[in-house]
Each structure stands twice: as C-alpha cells, then as structure tokens.
Amino acid sequence: MKIKQNQNDLLTSGSAVSRRLVAVIDLGSNSVRLVIYDCASPHPVPFFNEKVIAGLAQGIEQSGQLSPEGVDLAMAAMKRFSQLCKRLGVEHVSVLATAAVREAGNGPAFVTEIEETCGFSIEIISGEREALLSAMGVLAANPKADGLVGDIGGGSLDVIELKDGKAGRFATLPLGTIRLPEHVGYDRKKARARADKLIGDVSWLGELQGRSFYPVGGAWRALGRTAMVQASYPLEIIDNYVIDRAYATDIARLVSSQSAASLKTMSSIPKRRSETVPFAALVLDRLLKAARPERVVFSAASMREGALYEYLNLLNDDHDPLLDSCRDLAAKAGRDVVGKEQLADWMAPLFREDDPATPALRKAAAYLSNISWMDHPEYRADMSYLKILQAPFIGLRHFDRAFLAIAIYTRYEGEGGAGIARKLLSGDAQKSAAVLGLALRLAHGIGAGQPDAAMRTSLSLSKDTLTLTLPRDDALYSETAFSSRLKKLAALMGRSPAFDYS
C-alpha cells in the first residue's frame, strides 16, 4: 500500500520531513502488530510499534473460522493503523496475513472487509513464504546466521534451514501457541506426543546437529527473558542473547511444567501469555531434542523485518549490522563520520592480531567516537555508554555492545562505572576496550576531532615504549597539547610515552 503524504496531517511535521517511514503490519493468529520503521539510513530502526492481542485463531480448531471477537478487535486495530500511517506520511505499508487468516473459512471475507474499509492491500502469505520471510528477517540481523530458524505464532510453527546466508529446507507445522493446546484440549501430555510426531516427520532436522538455533516469536522471546532472569543476566536485550542447548532445554522444561497461575507470578512472562507459553516451551523442548543445536540465539528480527528488507532491497552481501548501525548512530548524533575509518588503521599498531579489539570493532568505535559531543561535558561518558549499550538496533552481539560501550566511555574519561558492560567482558577484553578508548581520545586531541590531523602522525609500540611520531616544525602538533593523553594511554599499556619527529 502506498500512501500520499499530507503535510497538514503529520503528527510531527518538523521531524517527519527528514525521515523515510515504511510500515509492516503482521495480521497474525494471536496478535495484530504495526511497526513503522525509519528507513532514512541503510540500517532501519523502529519508529513506532503497537500491538493488539486479537486472538483471531481462538476456537479455529473446532469451528474452522476466525474468532468473532478477534475479528472485531483486529478490525478496530486495522482502522487505527490505517489512520496512523496516513497521519505520519508513511511511504509504504506491507500487510501480511498468516496461518489463521490463511486457513479459516471466513478468512477471505475478513481480508476483503479490511481492504475495503482501510484501503490496505493484504497479502495472505503461504506457509512457504511465511517461513522465507522469517529466515530473511534473521539474516537481516545476522547475515552469517547458520542453522535453523524456528518461528512460532498462534497458528503455526515454521522451521527453516539457513546455510551460507540463504534459506533452504523448510516446514510449516500446526504447532502454534493457540492451535496446539486447542487441538489437545490443553492436555500437555497429548501436546508433547503431538509435537514429537509432527516434528519427527521433518526428517532433515536431525542433520542440523551442532549448529545454531534462532527462535523467533513473542512466546519464545518470553522464554528467553525467563532464561535471563534465572541466570541474573545483566543486559536486558533479547536480540542476540545466546545460551547453550542444555540451559535452553532446562528453561523450556521449567516453564512447560508450570501452571498458568504460577506463570502469572513470573515477571518475565506477560500475564496474557500464561495459558499458552507452557505449550510454546514444550514445543521448544521437543524441537531442541530433534535438532540438537549447539547454541540458541534469540532473535528480535522476524517476518516483519524480512518483509521490510525485501521491500528496501537491503539483503545483500555488503550488509554489516555492526558497522551500519554504528555509522547510523554517529550520523544521527550530528557529527561527520567521513574519514573515521582511517582512525582504525592509525590505531592498529596498538593491538595484537588476536586482540579482542578486532578491525571491525576498531572501525565501529571510530564512528562512535564523537557520539556525545552535544551532551554536557560532565555526563558525556555516562551518556555515551548508555546510548551504545542500549541502542535500538538488531544484529549486534552483546559482546560488541559491551566492548564499544566501555571503549567510548573511556574515550570520554569515564572511570569506575560501566558495570553492566564489564560483567559481559573478560578482564583482557575490558583492558583492550579501554586502550581503544584512550587511543581515540588521543586522536581527537591531536586535531580537534578531525581524523586527517591524526593521520599525519603515527603510533609505534616497542617492548618498553609507546611512541607518537609527529610532523616536524608544525605548530598544530605541539606536544604539550596532548602529552597527558599519550601518557595515560602508555601507562595503561605498561609502556613509557615518547615523542619522535619526521
């Protein structure tokens, strides 16, 4: 659906002009969700997100029809979503209807009514396309993902193999969080037997042993948050949260054995999911048993991101979530990122080949090195730390978030804080991040944040000395202007500082 922008209707007329807004509506079996993304940069970020639990699939096992109450709730939500998209000047809206609408007898009539009332063009996607879009969503966040994607909704479970950055074999199973318990009368023993039978029929799952499993869907994200709580994990970001199969199995079995009343007392599980999450946990347990992955990598990206990246044509070999997101965050901070890549090469002599500060992390840190220039000087360290650690991007490893947060915290002279990030890094990695931060601080001190000034100098490291070589007879490169920064960096590396001239 394309919507003509009406400047008089914009809710935020001043800021919306500089944005490129694209929306995806997931007309799902359990929920109806609108996500509007700001796509002005190569790394889209959520601009607005709203969900309504409509329960379209409630009772579909017995009636073969969409729930009347669910239809009313979904229709009201779609009318609101249509108005929001128009008022915000959204460029394009993709509306995807999944298993419940696809299979219900009254699904086509429901779709026609929405299209006529709201002006949307709705795609009723097949199980194959649903699986493909879920895989594309995971690949958008993690282009090197390898293993199995599992996307559980209210009506179905889609499993898709990922290999060499592409989707492969797939299957769609009637094991959704609404459909499965309704089919077995909420009998968990029967649900387990049915899950084992249907999952067992997917013969190729056994070939994925030792690879990664990427769970997608709100019910499984709730299990991921439960795993975080049980482990006292310090960072409350579900995307790219990684656990091993044994712990994932323990969490799945813990939750699948709880009553709905017990689950309502758990802060990690939304109360509205207390009836269905045990069945999602049960399906996860049986799927892990069949596929035997080495690790479980929770993904915040899903079918919606797959549809978005398909529309934007952003799925390509050059996509790098780490560098794209850091470059975007730096650009939004209002400072030029041109030339910052060169600083990564300038700092290279400080790091051994197997150093935690990889070339990619050095480049990402260089992009971010001026991120808090508009903040009050007394709070720049803390502000930059939180901006990076909690950035709303998908595809960033938790290690990368923590490493970059400490590096830029140190670049802004932060000391003694950054507790959450430190819990995620080894002592060696923390030191490496601090060295990176102090090196960036030195580079920015040389030329007031202009990379080309630092590039006329060079760093060299010997057993005992850290040497900064400066151009001879150039007033810009006065030792006294940045000697304290070199001294601090050298001290952290266990060297003596020295100047040389060329």
Pair 158, 176: CB distance under 8 Å = no
Question: Each residue's pLDDT tens digit in the chain (502 positions)?
Answer: 544 333 333 333 334 447 899 999 999 999 999 999 999 887 888 999 999 999 999 999 899 999 999 999 999 999 999 999 999 999 999 999 999 999 999 999 999 999 999 999 999 999 999 999 999 999 998 999 999 999 999 999 999 999 988 899 999 999 999 999 999 999 999 999 999 999 999 999 999 999 999 999 999 999 999 999 999 999 999 999 999 999 999 999 999 999 989 999 998 998 888 889 999 999 999 999 999 999 999 999 999 999 999 999 877 667 788 998 998 888 888 666 667 888 999 999 999 999 999 999 999 999 999 999 999 999 999 999 999 999 988 889 999 999 999 999 999 999 989 999 999 999 999 999 999 999 999 999 998 878 888 999 999 999 999 999 999 989 899 888 999 999 999 999 999 999 999 8
Q: What is the DSSP letter of 349?
A: G
- The Cα–Cα gap between 450 and 479 comes to 17
> Which range of residues forms the domain containing residue 428?
321-501
Grouping H, G, I as helix, E, B as strand and the rest as coil, residue 239 is coil
On whether both 257 and 244 belong to a single domain, the answer is: yes
User: What CA–CA distances, in Å, run from 290 to 152, 279, 453?
Assistant: 16, 17, 58
What distance in Å separates the CA atoms of residue 158 and residue 170, rounded to the nearest whole number? 7
- Is residue 338, in this structure, part of any structural domain at all? yes
Distances (CA, A) of 46 to 23, 41, 374, 392: 9, 12, 23, 8
Residue 31 shares a structural domain with residue 51: yes
Record the tokens describing residue 105, joined without a space.
Answer: 């007898």
Do residues 135 and 119 both lie within one domain? no
DSSP state of 433: H
Q: Are residues 460 and 364 in the same domain?
A: yes
Reported as type and span, the H/E element at residue 330 is helix 321-332
- Listed residue (96, 101, 108) closest to 55, CA to CA: 101
pLDDT tens, residue by residue, 22-41: 999 999 999 999 999 999 88
Quick count: other Cβ atoms within 10 Å of Cβ 479? 12
280 and 207 inside one domain: yes
Task: Determine the pLDDT at residue 337.
Answer: 65
> Which amino acid, one-letter code, is at 180?
L
| Residue 44 DSSP SS3 | coil
Q: Edge-to-edge strands of the sheet including 465-470?
A: 458-461, 465-470, 496-501
Residue type, 217: G
Whether residues 103 and 137 fall in one domain: no
Output the CA angle 184-185-186, nearest 5 degrees. Answer: 90
Are 97 and 150 contained in the same domain?
no
When divided into structural domains, the chain yields a total of: 3
For residues 326 and 407, what is the distance between their CA atoms, to the nearest angstrom?
Answer: 13
Handedness of CA 213, 217, 221, 223 (dihedral sign): negative
Is 201 in the same domain as 189? yes
Q: Cα(127)–Cα(107) distance, rounded to whole angstroms?
A: 15
Record the pTM: 0.90
- Whether 334 and 301 map to the same domain: the answer is no
Distance of alpha carbon 401 from the chain centroid: 11
For the sheet with 166-173, list strands across it: 166-173, 157-163, 147-152, 212-216, 295-297, 242-244
Task: Determine how many CB atoms are found less than 10 A away from the CB of residue 72.
Answer: 11
- Do 139 and 267 belong to one domain? yes
The half-sphere exposure of 443 on its side-chain side, counting CA atoms within 13 A, is: 32
Sign of the Cα torsion 415, 419, 421, 424 reads positive
Identify the domain boundary among 125, 143, 173.
125
Model pLDDT, residue 334: 66
Task: Tell me the two tokens of residue 141.
Answer: 């966040």
Cα(294)–Cα(311) distance, integer angstroms:
33
Q: Which CATH number goes with the domain that contains 391?
A: 1.10.3210.10
Rounded distance, CA 369 to CA 411, Å? 7
Let me know whether 168 and 111 are in one domain: no
Q: What per-residue confidence (pLDDT) applies to 447? A: 83
Those residues whose C-beta lies under 8 Å from the C-beta of residue 135, and which sit 6 or more positions away, are: 149, 160, 162, 167, 170, 306
Which residue type occupies 70? G
Does residue 11 form part of some domain?
A: no
**Residue linked to tokens 């803390």:** 382
